[in-house]
């Protein structure tokens, strides 16, 4: 969408439900009223329901339930996250797209969003169910100046940022399960997949992939997920504007990351511990080198989970599947 049309849309969206005069729009953009009318007609073709009333102007009465650059970009308050934004109707996986862009040199903060993924990737090689029109499937590239051993901190930061951004809009009680699941009533609502490319000890780039179940109804989940997954709609009985949730998430993630870069991991760790449902509980951790059972006592400053077994030994859990 061209820049001027996007700016017209921004004004109408900022004044959603109210009339904005065509004359004022033509003054703001220094173009004729016919030119404004043409932009409005194009916006209607993109799915916006816009009412036009003589002497009052234009007002948006409905917008398409579609993730799109024109609805996201003008509303971003971030400095760099998501400013280079790619939105697709359908991709194999946003994770794969983001890796391609990163190897082609895409800048820090580049984001890929899709309405549907045909081969969405979960952790440990599992598939991630990503149907169209319901969730937010996104991946973004960051190029942090950080050693590999600290990369896990960014997964934890991401979990905190998503939780806080969702919690701004909804009362639904969300918990974090180490390292990267967001749960509601023990059902998974968000998954995070962190992948990185590194040289020697330094991170070259990281891809943070996030899947948020937003508007799925129970029957939208395949059989095997019905008892383990949930969505914001199921939990709140209301449909959500995915563009708005994404705009909120981008603002929250960038602000938390900038705080982290300046002040370090400590306060993020405290926030993570506040939201965690694993700490202080008996857990079973299935790791590459066996199963450990014990109490999750905390996380280290590097984001590694500490598990105390019955004999009082402390185990550091770097990567595992956890059941609480």
Q: For 190-212, b where at least 16 C-beta lie within 10 A, e where not — what string?
A: bbbbbbbeeeeeebebbbbbbbb
The verdict on 193 binding ligand BTN (CB under 6 A) reads yes
CA–CA distances in Å: residue 315 to residues 279, 285, 289? 14, 10, 12
3-state secondary structure of 252: helix
Min dist. Cβ of residue 209 to ligand BTN (A): 3
Candidate ranges 51-59, 120-128, 254-262, 297-305; the one touching ligand BTN (CB under 6 A): 120-128
With CB under 6 A as the contact rule, the residue among 70, 78, 95, 243 that binds ligand BTN is 95
Candidate ranges 126-134, 216-224, 299-307, 311-319; the one touching ligand BTN (CB under 6 A): 126-134
The verdict on 158 binding ligand BTN (CB under 6 A) reads no
Nearest by Cα to 58 from 80, 79, 75, 42: 42
Min dist. Cβ of residue 56 to ligand BTN (A): 42
- For residues 176 and 277, the answer to whether their CB atoms sit within 8 Å is yes
The verdict on 142 binding ligand BTN (CB under 6 A) reads no
The verdict on 93 binding ligand BTN (CB under 6 A) reads yes
Computed from CA positions of residues 76, 80, 84, 89, in that sequence, does the dihedral angle turn out positive or negative? negative
Min dist. Cβ of residue 320 to ligand BTN (A): 13
Name the residue nearer to ligand BTN (CB basis): 29 or 318: 318
| Terminal CA-CA length for the chain | 47
Gap between the Cα atoms of 130 and 95, Å rounded: 13
CB atoms within 10 A of CB 247: 21
Min dist. Cβ of residue 91 to ligand BTN (A): 8
With CB under 6 A as the contact rule, the residue among 10, 59, 75, 123 that binds ligand BTN is 123
The CA radius of gyration of the chain, in Å to the nearest whole number, is: 22
Name the residue nearer to ligand BTN (CB basis): 210 or 307: 210
311 contact partners, CB below 8 Å, separation of at least 6: none
What is the number of the residue whose Cβ is closest to ligand BTN?
Answer: 191
**Footprint (CB under 6 A) of ligand BTN, residues 196-225:** 209-211
DSSP 8-state symbol, 170: -
Name the residue nearer to ligand BTN (CB basis): 193 or 249: 193
Name the residue nearer to ligand BTN (CB basis): 9 or 208: 208
Total residues at the site for ligand BTN (CB under 6 A)? 21
3-state secondary structure of 134: coil
Min dist. Cβ of residue 194 to ligand BTN (A): 9
The verdict on 128 binding ligand BTN (CB under 6 A) reads yes
β-sheet with 175-177: strand ranges across: 85-91, 111-117, 136-142, 202-212, 187-199, 181-184, 175-177
Min dist. Cβ of residue 204 to ligand BTN (A): 19
Binding site for ligand BTN (CB under 6 A): 93-95, 117, 120-123, 126, 128, 130, 137-139, 181, 191-193, 209-211
């Amino acid at each position: 969408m061209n820049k001027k049309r996007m700016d017209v849309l921004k004004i109408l969206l900022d004044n959603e439900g109210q009339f904005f005069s065509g004359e004022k729009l033509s003054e703001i953009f220094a173009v004729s009223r016919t030119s404004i009318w043409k932009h409005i007609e194009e916006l209607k073709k993109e799915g916006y329901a816009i009412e036009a009333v003589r002497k009052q102007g234009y007002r948006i009465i409905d917008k398409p339930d579609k993730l799109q650059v024109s609805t996201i970009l003008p509303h971003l308050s971030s400095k760099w996250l998501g400013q280079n934004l790619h939105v697709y109707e359908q991709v194999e996986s946003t994770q794969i797209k983001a890796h391609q862009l990163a190897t082609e040199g895409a800048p820090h903060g580049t984001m890929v969003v899709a309405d549907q993924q045909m081969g969405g990737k979960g952790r440990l090689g599992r598939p991630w169910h990503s149907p169209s029109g319901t969730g937010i499937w996104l991946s973004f590239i960051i190029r942090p100046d950080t050693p590999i051993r600290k990369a896990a901190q960014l997964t934890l930061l991401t979990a905190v940022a998503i939780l806080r951004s969702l919690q701004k809009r909804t009362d639904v009680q969300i918990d974090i399960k180490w390292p990267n699941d967001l749960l509601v009533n023990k059902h998974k609502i968000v998954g995070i997949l962190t992948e990185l490319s590194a040289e020697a000890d330094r991170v070259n780039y990281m891809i943070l992939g996030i899947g948020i179940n937003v508007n799925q109804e129970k029957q939208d989940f395949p059989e095997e997920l019905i008892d383990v997954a949930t969505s914001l709609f199921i939990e709140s009985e209301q449909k959500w504007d995915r563009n708005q949730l994404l705009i909120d998430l981008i603002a929250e993630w960038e602000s938390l990351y900038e705080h982290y870069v300046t002040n370090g991991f400590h306060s993020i760790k405290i926030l993570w511990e506040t939201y965690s449902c694993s700490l202080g509980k008996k857990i079973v951790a299935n790791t590459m080198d066996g199963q450990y059972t014990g109490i999750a006592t905390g996380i280290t400053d590097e984001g590694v989970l500490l598990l105390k077994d019955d004999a009082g030994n402390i185990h550091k859990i770097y990567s595992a599947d956890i059941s609480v």
